Amino acid sequence: MGKVWLVGAGPWDAGLLTLKGKEVLSRAQVVVYDRLVGPGVLSMIPEDAECIDVGKRAGNHTMPQEEINQVLLREAMADKRVVRLKGGDPFLFGRGGEELELLARHGVPFEIVPGVPSAISVPAYNGIPVTHRDQVSSLHIITGHKKKGEPYDLDFDALVRTKGTLVFLMGAAALSEICQGLLEAGMEPDMPAALLQQGTMAGQKKLLSTVSLLPSEAAKITVATPAIILVGKVCSYGETFGWYEKLPLFGKRILVTRPRERSGTLAGRLRELGGEVLEAPAISTVLTPDKKDMLRELEGLEKYDWMAFTSPAGVNLFFDVLREEKKDIRSIGMAKIAAIGPGTAKELEKRGLMVDAMPEVYDGQELGRLLGQVLKKGERLLIPRARKGNVQLIEEIRKQKDVEIVDLPIYDTVYGMARDQDPIDVKAWCQSQEQVMVVFTSASTVRGFAACTQGMDYDRIRALCIGTQTRAQAEELGMETFTSKEATIDSLVELAVEVSAL
């Protein structure tokens, strides 16, 4: 028999998923998720996991609750590790208890991984402490949802008597009734109140007012869900303590397309600056299926005078194969090492190999020009790289020197998303925004992005490119392009801040 984990994903921001939640999710075989789970968290689902979208959203349930319960039971009985991924916390108006009842009756083992509740985190992201010693000493979380056509079954008198902070979840559609109920129960008309929309998301907005005026002021705007209603004296801190909206990338949605194993640092830096970041690798690298030529060259590595690496992936895969063949760095003899850029050099340094040559401009053409200068006539050069590598690299070398070059294909670049039924529709995500920034770290990531967004109008894309070749590829699709000063993560982050201010 398998097991079920009920995991709270937090309000939206991927950084608010707990460490335990992330660890449990990384081992999932089946993930059952709803629409209140942010795309940043969904991007953490393992590529080989089955994803089941139950699409719960107010007034629009793709799957009835009873059927969701049956899905969890069925998958667990099939001896699978099942993660039920829920927005916020599974036990705070998340119907987690209902889902466990059926599992408990059938003896299915389960665990609960609490999540950061939106009732606390969304006010915090808006600079509002839900408690404050000088203002309130209690917090009350109330569901604002009610059945259509029926009056509220809430004791507004009791809520007013608490003199505490009131948080109404899922109540935006009934804002007028909630405020009216509180006023009729004796709450002061000038009691501070707030409507907090899309908390921890790029679209986060707050409307600060009073209980008596909040409904009329909200009627003047288009309220975006999810939204919560906050009532209490602590709302007055919303302007003074506001911090999230002051970050340089606040309100910006940014797509990072680099391979999954390489995206973490860049995505993390962008999130630190307030961006809503979606990691959607547009390419992946797979070891070439025909390893005959590769294994033959590995038997005689000591004959080469130089080895040139053109990507971090190439470094990793090359040394992975060496390890599989029971070889280590001693097998490369006295060969000098060239790298196309600092990212590739860093991967080499992790293996104790210092780079002897690296161009000032990090692309294949410049690496070829540099190697043409440093190589001596008759020397032997090995280039372990992608099957479809940059032809300019070898052309530039041969313009300058008569050397022996072995262009060794060790991996293939696969374009598009790794999973056919991915929980994130990248094309829909981009099209739902007026404008989105997409970070491209190579021309191949541009081609991969195009492969999974065919037919999209690319003129709404602001392409942040790491070099001229990458920029040229993006321009072919009609994107608005910007190029970082250097081919580094730091420079790309600086570029994102500059572009966001335009």
Contact at 8 Å (CB) between 305 and 337? no
Q: Which of 199, 269, 322 is nearest to 439 (CA)?
A: 269
3-state secondary structure 99-125: HHHHHHHCCCCEEEECCCCHHHHHHHH
Contact at 8 Å (CB) between 256 and 280? yes
Q: Which of 338, 241, 277, 283 is nearest to 492 (CA)?
A: 277
Q: Is 56 a catalytic residue?
A: yes
Take residue 182 and report the two structure tokens written for it.
């509180």
Contact at 8 Å (CB) between 477 and 282? no
Phi, psi of 63 (to 5 degrees): -135, 130
For CA atoms 410, 414, 418, 419, the dihedral sign is negative
Catalytic residue among 56, 80, 86, 206: 56
For CA atoms 131, 133, 134, 138, the dihedral sign is positive
Measure CA of the first residue to CA of the last residue in the chain; give whole Å: 55
Q: Which of 172, 173, 216, 174 is nearest to 197 (CA)?
A: 172
Q: How many residues does the chain have?
A: 502
- Cβ–Cβ contacts within 10 Å for residue 78, how many? 12
Cα–Cα distance measured from residue 439 to residue 304, given in angstroms and rounded to the nearest whole number: 36
Catalytic residue among 3, 13, 20, 34: 34
Q: Which of 125, 127, 173 is nearest to 147 (CA)?
A: 173
Residue 355 to residues 306, 362, 449: CA-CA distances in angstroms? 11, 14, 31
What single DSSP character describes residue 188?
-
Cα–Cα distance measured from residue 496 to residue 275, given in angstroms and rounded to the nearest whole number: 9
DSSP reduced 3-state for 307: strand
Q: Is 34 a catalytic residue?
A: yes
What single DSSP character describes residue 337?
E
DSSP string, 53-101: E--EETTEESS-HHHHHHHHHHHHHTT-EEEEEESB-TTSSS-HHHHHH
Q: Which residues are catalytic?
A: 34, 56
